[in-house]
């Protein structure tokens, strides 16, 4: 949308009205801006930076495995309820895979200990 009036005195005029011939109308949500400010404040602390780094390793790593290794790139079911059920089944498969690897590693370590003793 374009408008010729209503932007005078706005603190965001330089952000949204780069073309002076066609001024854009930008709406902002004050409550959402407050939430963003709190999030920015939390993420700027030392603990926030460390937690953000851990999230990228743990959560996004799991999605990467699900998408690439397990070849899950799109839902085949329609509707929120069915898509949720499908994703829960995929997550179950992911967790079973992790558990299986853990069990194999544990068995291997037990055999090594028996051979060394």
Backbone φ, ψ for residue 63 (5° rounding): -65, -35
Report the alpha-carbon distance of residue 104 to residue 86 in Å, rounded: 27
Is the predicted pLDDT of residue 84 greater than 60, yes or no? yes
Is the predicted pLDDT of residue 5 greater than 70, yes or no? no
Model confidence, pTM: 0.49
What percent of the chain stands above pLDDT 90? 44
Report the alpha-carbon distance of residue 44 to residue 32 in Å, rounded: 18
Specify which residues 24 forms β-bridges with.
2
**Domain extent listing, the chain:** 75-117
- Confidence class for position 39, pLDDT limits 50, 70, 90: very high
Taking residues 53-77, report their average pLDDT.
86
């Amino acid at each position: 949308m374009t408008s010729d009036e209503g932007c005078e005195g706005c603190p965001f005029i330089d952000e949204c009205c780069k073309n002076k011939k066609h001024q854009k109308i930008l709406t902002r949500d004050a409550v959402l801006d407050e939430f963003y400010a709190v999030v920015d404040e939390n993420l700027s602390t030392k603990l926030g930076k460390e937690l953000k780094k851990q999230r990228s390793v743990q959560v996004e790593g799991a999605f990467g495995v699900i998408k690439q290794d397990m070849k899950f790139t799109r839902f085949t079911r329609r509707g929120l309820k069915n898509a949720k059920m499908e994703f829960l089944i995929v997550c179950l498969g992911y967790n079973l895979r992790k558990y299986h690897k853990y069990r194999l590693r544990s068995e291997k370590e037990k055999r090594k200990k028996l051979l060394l003793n």
